[in-house]
Structure 1
Amino acid sequence: MDGRQKWQDLAPGKRRAIIVAGVLQLLLQLAALHDLSRRTPLEVNGPKKAWVAASFINFAGPIAYFVRGRKK
């Protein structure tokens, strides 16, 4: 056996945590992509295409965009 658990073998609390984390990741990414689509290139630090690509990096990409990607 390779040591990995199947979805059915996980405790209900772990299943909920995975679902919540997935939904949170999706919402963060959608928020970052929506914000990027409404900004002009002059309102973004760096190329918009790079920030779109970075938004696909779990949690870190969208958070980095909101912290560093937007100009004040």
Structure 2
Amino acid sequence: MSRSKRWKELSPTARATVVAVAAVDAGTRVWALRDLAGRRPEEIHGPKRAWVIGLSVGSTAGIGPAVYLLWGRKRRG
């Protein structure tokens, strides 16, 4: 069984990758939550509260926000 590496044991490339993925996740999460806040419940697929909880909990490497932005919103107009 292998143990996880500590931050200081990671290569510079691995550190940069972790930081980049975290930044993308944070940015898309903020974008999705702001979009969600500006929409009425009937403009969203599924319960709005469930989306808020799902987007607010844990790191998803940008997958959760991408799912909301691509499939969670109904088209306006």
Quote how far apart the aligned CAs of 1:10 are.
0.8
1:8-27 map, 5 Å: 8-27=8-27
Q: Percent identity?
A: 32
Shift >3 Å, 4+ stretches: none
Q: For 2:4 and 2:65, locate their aligned partners in 1 and report how far apart those are by CA, in whole Å.
A: 29
2: CA distance between counterparts of 1:61 and 1:23?
A: 14
- When structure 1 is superposed on structure 2, of 17-26 and 54-63 the one drifting more is 54-63
Give TM-score scaled by structure 2 length. Answer: 0.82
RMSD: 1.7
Q: Which runs of 5+ in 2 are unaligned?
A: none
TM-score (norm 1): 0.87
Higher RCO, 1 vs 2 (CA within 8 Å, ≥6 residues apart): 2
Q: Write the deviation string for residues 14-50 of structure 1: whole angstroms up to 9, x where unpaired.
A: 1000000001101111110000000111111111111
Letter paired with 1:18? V
Q: Is 1:61 the equivalent of 2:64?
A: yes
